[in-house]
Chain A
């Protein structure tokens, strides 16, 4: 999700952006719950798939909003996603092979 956002011109993303992206993609009516979303982001950061930085509070105050925590996908995160994609391709290929047989 973060990599897709990155590809679409958002170098970093914050929690709400991710929640909205998930909702739009799944065609869901509700955004991902706060607890679920931020727990997942925290775990991904802990395992090194994401990194985060807090925005300068002065800059945020100048814009009249709370400061954002921006996330970025790490190279390890990109690698992990590529691996998942490969595995998904392999298993769908195997399933197609079985169906053809």
Chain B
């Protein structure tokens, strides 16, 4: 059995590629492996054309050795991207529960702070809670990456950002609810005052 030195170099390169792409997402792994496979095939064809198999074997082996630092740094860059994608996934998973939590907090808060009668309470809750929660949710869902001046969310801990948005929404909702409830109270007291004045003989 004849083992060509070229094939040994190719085998080594393939093993190395398998090793440093291990644990990466399937697509990244396949892309890298296919690209190197294609390169190796082209180089073998090129060497076959020139008839210098041994030279090609050393060349392939040299390319493997000299490329190791870059292979490792490519792997590290890719790992960072994977972590970033995972953090965006986490953010997407957190949006729904944080919105519900937000809603519950506002309902409980308003229930404690504004015991003003069922109808007014419901109107105030709907007016104060629905628009900001809806807008906030649509805003985050719509954009994959959101830029706030120099801060892009994909470079920012996404989960922290979602919590921050939740907090801002709660503050906005409480403020709006306060305004609405004060307006309702004023309106109701004016009506009651008018009724009293009307009843006075």
Contacts and interface: CB of A to CB of B under 8 A. Distances in A.
B43 A16 contact: yes
A51 B23 CA distance: 26
A66 B45 CA distance: 12
B63 interface: yes
Contacts of B62: 30, 33
A16 B70 contact: no
A54 B69 CA distance: 26
Interface in B48-68: 59, 62-68
Interface stretch (A34-42, A76-84, A86-94): A34-42
Contacts of A38: 32, 35-36, 39, 74
Interface in B30-51: 31-32, 34-39, 41-43, 45-46
Contacts of B43: 16, 31
A85 interface: no
B155 to A, nearest CB: 15
B63 A34 contact: yes
Contacts of B63: 30-34
Interface residues of A, number: 24
Interface in A44-96: 54, 65-69
A14 B70 CA distance: 19
Given A14-B42, A16-B42, A39-B73, A66 B37 contact: yes
18 contacts: A14-B42, A15-B38, A15-B39, A16-B43, A20-B46, A29-B59, A30-B63, A31-B63, A32-B63, A34-B63, A34-B71, A35-B67, A36-B66, A36-B70, A39-B74, A42-B74, A69-B35, A69-B38
Query: Chain A CB within 10 Å — which of B34, B37, B45 has the most?
Result: B34
A54 B34 CA distance: 10
A19 interface: yes
A39 B68 CA distance: 11
Contacts of B70: 33, 35-36, 39
A67 B38 contact: yes
A35 B73 CA distance: 9
B88 interface: no
Contacts of B34: 54, 66-67, 69
A36 B46 CA distance: 20
A20 B49 CA distance: 14
B59 A34 contact: no
B42 A34 contact: no
